[in-house]
Amino acid sequence: MHACYSNPGASLFVTAPSGDSGSCDAGGNVPPWRIWSAEGSGDANYTVAEGTSFSAPIVAGVVALMLEADSDVGGGPRMSVRDVMHALANTARKLDASDAGWETNNGTPAHDIHYNYGFGAVDGHTAVEHVIDEGWRRALSEREIDSGVVAVNTQIAVIASASRTFTVQAGTAGNHLRVEHVELVLNAELFTLWPSSDPDGMGGLRVTILGPEVNSTRTASLVADDRDGEPATEYVDVVFTTVRHWDEPAVGEWTIVLENEGSIPFVWTDYRLRIYGTPWCRGDFDANGCVDGYDTAAFLSAYLGDDPRADYDNVPGLNYPGDLDAFLDDWGECEECE
């Protein structure tokens, strides 16, 4: 990981080696972990270098190995983009473990998360082993919980804050999801009637999303930090994304917090929260937290209607009896309603 970074934010997923730059280290010493790379056209031409341009090819190479291994095992390509993301999140290696920025989210499984490292460094060997494991299953079709546009129309004074809570109700169809991505669509602006201008523009506004409470803790996602000299004076349907709540339950209270670190007030117009994921228990087809015959009926209706949500086995597309058998296996693993 390159040493010269700022806070990349809550949407950073994983990291990969890029060498390092001596100009970023105390004393200006060139560190020993530079990348050994081909140089020029000859077979024997190699060099050592560093730069963030190395990171993306390394991740791409790991993903290519995962896709090849999956295709060999499954007799053809099975993995979607989301399958790749799940595999990377579950196998990333925690690096720079002593850094105080590491936290653990409330997922099942719980994930180590860091604003600078995401879920950690890609681990090619472990990622490939994860994909070829006999117990590996494709991710179910993505579901969505949408708050709709929620009006706020609140002024936030200097060095003050405002918050709003959106509750995902338990026992409601579609709500019992295992979270993947969370999106906040935000509308806010500087209070234009104020007699002075703010040189930081919208950069004086900090935006945080707090996930539902689990065991007395909540995962925080700082999706916008205060920053100097931003020219924008308003957010118009600006979308902030976080993956820090990966594998957490969607049910519970989600809180959006806006803090004014600038020199003039802000006006918070409205917000929209979108939570993406899959049923918490794979057999709970209607995602209402209750596994019963209604789930079987809903699955069969979806299957007969060519609904992609009925794709439950490890073969892309709807396949009989593969999808039905896979769903019934998942259904049997869920706890029945009381």
Burial 173-205 (b: 16+ CB within 10 A, else e): eebbbbbbbbbbbbbbbbeeeeeeebebbbbbb
Please return the burial class of 154, using the count of CB atoms within 10 Å of its CB with bins 0-12, 13-18 and 19+.
Answer: middle
- Structural domains of the chain sorted by starting position, each given as residue range(s) with its CATH number in brackets: 22-132 (no CATH), 143-279 (2.60.120.260), 293-333 (no CATH)
pLDDT tens by residue, 238-284: 999 999 999 999 999 999 999 999 888 999 999 999 999 999 999 99
Given this model, what pLDDT does residue 25 score?
45
Given this model, what pLDDT does residue 112 score?
97
Given this model, what pLDDT does residue 178 score?
98
**Average pLDDT in the 215-228 region?**
94
Q: What is the number of alpha carbons within 13 Å of residue 64 lying toward its C-beta?
A: 6
pLDDT tens by residue, 110-131: 999 999 999 999 999 999 999 9
pLDDT tens by residue, 148-200: 999 999 999 999 999 999 999 999 999 999 999 999 999 999 987 665 565 67
User: Which region among 21-25, 116-120, 135-139 has the lowest average model confidence (pLDDT)?
Assistant: 21-25
| pLDDT surpassing 50 at residue 3 | no
| Rounded CA separation 154/132 (Å) | 52
Model confidence pTM above 0.75:
yes
